[in-house]
Amino acid sequence: MEIVIKSNPKELGIAAGKLGAELIQQAIEQNGFANIILATGTSQFETLNQLLAETGIDWSKVRMFHLDEYIGLSITHPASFRKYLKERFISKVPPLREVNLIDGEADEENECERLSKNILKHPIDVAFVGIGENGHLAFNDPPADFEIEVPYIVVELDEACRKQQLGEGWFNTMDEVPRKAISMSIKQILKAKHIICSVPDQRKAVAVKNTMEQSVSNLFPATAMQLHTHCTCFLDEASASLVSQTN
């Protein structure tokens, strides 16, 4: 895992977005297309903004997969990740080769099966991800399942995860925060050729320290990225503040 530390979230996002754009362009040049995974949440704001600013990407050759989504949440709800991606990304680029959003209002088992079959046919070139305050990767809360091979799975959201969603302002009360979600599995995320992890803000500092310094463990799900040979983690000074200087 390579660690890149920038001064603030905007500089972090610029660096992450530029690397992501370069990798997408490389995939298009080599294969004629690129397959990517997009994450959501406040950690991805600046990274997505930079991707949108890049002028060299032929988006008509890009197939997009969605990282995770709440079960039972309407697409019109402010916290819907489908709504997030449609408004913040999909509507702002030319039509993509293919868009694969998770429908959290559909039958959850059928939706996991549908998405899993499709992503298995399209190996991922670049995965954009973040790290949760509880150390989760996607919605794989601790203790995460490190063994399951299925690409998309149904997960239970723990209290720390749900509190984060409330704290970020996506919901008005804890009772509103869903208890289940569809998430890409850890093993599927690690199959991506390249992982770009964007993690700004002081509130992520403990999770970042654990991710970088703990041994790989399902109690710290994001440590799984230590096993990936082409993972770059972009931090700002706040999120990196607890990482040992010798790490």
Whether residue 247 has pLDDT greater than 70:
no
Q: For position 105, what pLDDT does the model report?
A: 97
Task: Compute the average pLDDT of residues 28-54.
Answer: 96
> 214 CB contacts (<8 Å, ≥6 apart)?
220, 223
Whether residue 39 has pLDDT greater than 80:
yes
Entry pTM: 0.95
List domains and CATH numbers for the chain: 2-236 (3.40.50.1360)
Whether residue 242 has pLDDT greater than 80:
yes
pLDDT, averaged across the chain: 96
Q: For position 108, what pLDDT does the model report?
A: 97
Q: For position 246, what pLDDT does the model report?
A: 42
| Contact criterion met (CB below 8 Å) for 71 and 181 | yes
Residue type, 26: Q
Q: Identify whether 123 is preceded by a cis peptide bond (ω within 30 of 0).
A: no
Span 186-197, pLDDT tens digits: 999 999 999 999
